[in-house]
Amino acid sequence: MNVTEFFVNITSDNPEALVSFYRDIVGLPQRTDMGPSSYAAGGAILGFDEHKDTRGRAVQPQRYLLDLTVGDARAARERLEAKGVTFSRCEGKEEWGGLISTFNDPDGNIVQFFQLPEGAAPPLAPGQVGGFTLDVTSDQPEKLLAFYRDIVGLSPFPAIGPNGLQVTETGFLHVDTHTETQGPAAEPNRILIDFWVDDVRAERARMEAAGARFFRKEGVEFWGGVISACLDPDGNIVQLIQHDPALDTTVAQG
């Protein structure tokens, strides 16, 4: 699949607080071309919105880990701590040589600063996010990996682990296990995994031929989005999105 944008839609009953956190504290730059509440995070875009079924803090925060690649995890942590953020892990050393610092956003979603081993990537400026990985955990990672690799059509990217998949040049999806992740997603509407494509109908038909079952097919949004949606094996919501300017009523009314 040729993904033009990797969009992680984080829903909340208080999206304004999330916007303020990721913009003013984490320091992500806005992507106004993708909507007023969209922010660039390396090879992905984080968007924040309301959803009628999303209430309070995340029930299963360990199911989706939002990993931001930085040049200096310690400096990034100290910058956020100076703004009042509490970290649950500080520069933990991974077996693959990287460092991870972990914190939570206002809704309890887990965010991690990733520092790659020296020489593994080009140098990053202070505060710069050079890449993004959505780490999706499961008690059946083999099925989840097969879905995203063989049905969605993402390419393996072993540089981030044996279950790593490339979505965009510096945007990745990684499937993993977690001791507290069991069964289907308890809140599938909290984080929506969106793949923007050039031809949503063709990609939906290709995935259906490979076994995916869509509950929405080419639904049209007022802003010109054409969306097809399905569930992965754990019940996480996956959306294929194409923007058609001819269907954008906001432009027509403007």
Instruction: List the one residue out of 70, 75, 117 whose CA is nearest residue 93.
Output: 117
Cβ neighbour number for residue 34 with a 10 Å cutoff:
17
Q: Positive or negative, the Cα torsion across 157, 138, 11, 88? A: negative
Residue 252 reports pLDDT greater than 60: no
Q: Tens digits of per-residue pLDDT, 205-225?
A: 999 999 999 999 999 999 999
d(CA 65, CA 88): 14
Q: Kindly tell me the burial class for residue 74, based on how many C-beta atoms sit within 10 Å of its own C-beta (0-12, 13-18, 19 or more).
A: middle
Q: Helix H segments across 2-118?
A: 15-20, 73-81
User: How much is the mean pLDDT over the chain?
Assistant: 95
Q: Give the model's confidence band at 100: pLDDT under 50 very low, under 70 low, under 90 confident, else very high.
A: very high
Domains present along the chain, CATH in parentheses: 5-253 (3.10.180.10)
Q: Tens digits of per-residue pLDDT, 229-249?
A: 999 999 999 999 999 999 999
Mean pLDDT of 129-150: 97
pTM (predicted TM-score): 0.95
Give percent of the chain above pLDDT 70.
Answer: 98
d(CA 209, CA 230): 13
Residue 254 reports pLDDT greater than 50: no
Q: What is the pLDDT of residue 109?
A: 98
Residue 76 reports pLDDT greater than 50: yes
